[in-house]
Amino acid sequence: MSLTPTKPWFPFVFIVLAVLGFSDATWLAIKHFTQTIVPCSLTHGCELVTTSQYSLILGIPVALLGSLYYFTLIFGTIISLESKKERIFRLITRFSLAGFLMSLWFLFAQIFLIHAICQWCLGSAITSTLLFVLSYFFYPKAATKVVSEPEVL
Amino acid sequence: MEYQTKNLLVRLSYYLIALAVLALLVFGIYSAVKSSELTVPVPLASVVTNNDWQKGNQEASVTLVEYADFQCPACGQFDPLLAQLISVYGDRVDFVYRNFPLREKHANAEAAAEAAGAAGLQGKFWEMHNVLYANQTSWQDLADPKVTFQGYAKSLGLDMDKFNADSGSVAVRDRIEADYRSGLAAGIDGTPTFFLQGVKIANPASYNAFAAVIESALAKTAQAPTTTP
């Protein structure tokens, strides 16, 4: 299989962003699981956001889903780099649309439904948006017809 | 064959290293979350005086000061824990309640603090305190909670004329403001915040965790010669 020559730095930038997002989401997830009673804060909106009804999807904390999402991106990239199969990486970059759409929804929920902004959630929205922009605007589209698009949302 | 197995091992080790790095990262974040709760010791800004709302043993060598907001859900969740602590350690610990109403966030927090303060002038601060927390959800969203608070005052058998006059009085409000400022001076930014022996502690996650913290403070004071058995 022939691989499209892409910028070699690309997967590394991708992985660095994914690690940032992973750290952020993991921080939120750990906060969620270690603090049983979330205090009322004078300065931050985080406790309002992270304890809102929108912070859970089917009973699973959104932060944990985010953490798993970034983990998938990181590991997918590592597998692709190690096995030298760019096809896998291409799939992973298409997957970044999911994270972007979720971030849009959470940003909307924070501004219009919860009326509070959580900086940590905003951080993850930024990394997932950057990953999406990189993937869809700076990464060459599929070179061969063999590449199947993943179904995203 | 030999070569392939070796190759597989090398490949596997890449993944294991990557996993280990991520696991290390998660552990690092976990310890960061844990340690962010126990930052540099923050001292209580003003000492406990007779002007404070106190329960338990005022002569006790262990003092727990709580900064709280009657409308804060977290304070409401902590209240049963504290009630249990007071019933168990009331003879050995001085429990102090200070107001820290988050007025920008909780529209009725100030009025609730005033109701408790007014009840306190008739010796029923803690009774009103309990009623307010027990019924937090029924008054938190009211446009004007005064009538509801008057109902609580009546049920506690308070002198209603005095209660109504005291509720909005300068004396009661000044006392709340003094509490609030002492909290700001101590650098607190949320509720509930607890100070044990004058030093801020991380909010314990359960009754048992809270009791353990108090036990260790009691054990420390017991080493010094005191009158408590």
CATH topology (fold) of B53-223: Glutaredoxin (3.40.30)
Show the beta-strand stretches assigned E in A2-45: 40-41
| Chain CA centroid to CA A32, Å | 18
What residue segments make up the domains of chain B, in order of their start? 1-36, 53-223
Q: Which is more confident, B9 or B76?
A: B76
Is the pLDDT score of A145 beyond 70? no
- Choose among B69, B147, B136, B78: nearest CA to B104: B69
Give the pLDDT of residue B193: 93
Average pLDDT over residues B70-92: 94
Give the pLDDT of residue A147: 47
DSSP of B158-181, one letter per residue? --HHHHHHHHT-HHHHHHHHHHHH
Q: What share of chain A is helix, strand, coil (3-state, %, to 5)?
A: 65, 5, 30
**Mutation for A interface: B8, B17, B29, most A CBs within 10 A:** B29
Residue B63 Ramachandran class (φ > 0 left, ψ -120 to 50 alpha, else beta) = beta
Q: Does a structural domain hold residue A96?
A: yes
- Choose among A73, A47, A118: nearest CA to B203: A47
Number of folded domains that form chain A = 1
Q: Which chain A residues are within 8 Å of B29, Cβ to Cβ?
A: 23, 26-27, 30
Is the pLDDT score of A25 beyond 80? yes
Q: Does a structural domain hold residue A26?
A: yes
| Most confident of the ranges A50-64, A72-86, A108-122, B38-52 | A72-86
Compare all CA atoms of chain B with the CA of A31 and give the residue at the minimum distance.
Answer: B33
Contact B18 A74 (CB under 8 A): yes
> How many Cα neighbours within 13 Å face the side chain of B173?
7
Q: Which chain B residues are within 8 Å of A74, Cβ to Cβ?
A: 18, 22
Residue B45: partners with Cβ closer than 8 Å, 6 or more residues away: B182, B183, B185, B186
Chain B contact present for A75, CB below 8 A = yes
What is the nearest CA distance from B110 to chain A, expressed in angstroms?
14
Give the pLDDT of residue B85: 95
Is the pLDDT score of A24 beyond 60? yes
Nearest-by-Cβ selection for B29 from A26, A37, A74: A26
| Distance (Å, whole) CA A78 – CA A97 | 19
Q: Does a structural domain hold residue A151?
A: no
Q: How confident is the model at residue A2 (pLDDT cuts 50, 70, 90)?
A: very low
Can you give the CATH number for the domain in which A107 is found? 1.20.1440.130
Q: Does a structural domain hold residue A148?
A: no
DSSP of A56-93, one letter per residue? EETTEEHHHHHHHHHHHHHHHHHHHHHHT-HHHHHHHH
Rounded to the nearest integer, the mean pLDDT of chain B is 89
User: Which residue pairs, CB below 8 angstroms and at least 24 apart, start in B108-111?
Assistant: B108/B70, B108/B71, B108/B139, B108/B140, B108/B142, B108/B145, B109/B69, B109/B70, B109/B71, B109/B72, B110/B176, B111/B145, B111/B146, B111/B149, B111/B167
Contact A40 B102 (CB under 8 A): yes
Range of the domain at A116: 10-137
Q: Does a structural domain hold residue A2?
A: no
Q: Does a structural domain hold residue A31?
A: yes
Compare all CA atoms of chain A with the CA of B184 and give the residue at the minimum distance.
Answer: A42
Is the pLDDT score of A95 beyond 60? yes
Contact A82 B11 (CB under 8 A): yes
CB pairs under 8 A between A and B: 70
Average pLDDT over residues B57-72: 94
Q: Does a structural domain hold residue A153?
A: no
**Mutation for A interface: B9, B22, B108, B184, most A CBs within 10 A:** B22
State pLDDT tens for residues B168-191: 899 999 999 999 999 999 988 889
Is A27:B33 a contact under the CB 8 Å cutoff?
yes
| Distance (Å, whole) CA B54 – CA B65 | 9
Is the pLDDT score of B223 beyond 80? no
Give the pLDDT of residue B36: 63
Is the pLDDT score of A91 beyond 80? yes
Q: Does a structural domain hold residue A87?
A: yes
